[in-house]
Structure 1
Amino acid sequence: MPGSLIHPVPYYAQWASPDLVSDIVLGRLPATADPRWGEYGASSPDEYAWWAKRLCGVACLRMCLGHWGFPVPVAMDLARDCIEAGAYVRHAEGLHGLIYAPFADFVNQRWGLRAQSEPDLTPDQVRSSLEQGCLALLSVHPTIRFAGSRPPRQGGHLVLAVGFEGEDLFVHNPSGLFGVSQEFARLTPDDLDASFARRGVLIGGLGDCPS
Structure 2
Amino acid sequence: MNASPITHPVPYYSQWESAGLVPQFITGAMSAADDPLWQKSGADSRDEYAFWAPRICGMACLRMALDHWGHPVPPSVPLLREALEAGAYVRDGDQVQGMIYAPFAAWAARRWGLHADVRPRLVPEEIHEEIGRGHLVMLSVHKTIRTLDEAQAPPVRGGHLVLAVGTGPDGVEVHNPSGLPDHSQRFARVPWADLDRFFAGRGVVLGPGRAPA
The normalised TM-score by structure 2 is: 0.94
How far apart in 1 are the matches of 2:184 and 2:27? 14
Structure 1 stretches of 5 or more lacking a match?
none
How far apart in 1 are the matches of 2:36 and 2:137? 31
**Alignment pair present for 1:199 and 2:202:** yes
Contact 1:148 1:191 in 2 (8 A): no
CA deviations on 1:27-83 (whole Å, 9 max, x unpaired) are 221111110000001111111110000000000000000000000000011101111
Q: Which runs of 4+ in 1 moved over 6 A?
A: none
Letter paired with 1:58: M
How far apart in 1 are the matches of 2:146 and 2:20? 14
In the alignment of these two chains, the number of paired residues is 207
How far apart in 1 are the matches of 2:196 and 2:5? 20
SS at match of 2:49: helix
* Identity value in percent: 51
Structure 2 stretches of 5 or more lacking a match?
none
1:141: which partner in 2? Answer: 142
Letter paired with 2:76: A
SS at match of 1:200: strand
- After superposing the two structures, state which structure 1 stretch, 129-138 or 158-167, moved more: 158-167
2:158 to 155, 158, 182: 155
Letter paired with 2:183: V
Contact 1:56 1:159 in 2 (8 A): yes
Matches within 5 A, 1:45-194: 45-149=46-150, 150-194=153-197
How far apart in 1 are the matches of 2:185 and 2:25? 14
SS at match of 1:147: coil
**Alignment pair present for 1:28 and 2:29:** yes
How far apart in 1 are the matches of 2:111 and 2:172? 29
Letter paired with 2:171: D
C-alpha RMSD of matched pairs (Å): 1.1
Deviation at 1:180, TM superposition (A): 0.7
Contact 1:13 1:59 in 2 (8 A): yes
SS at match of 1:53: helix
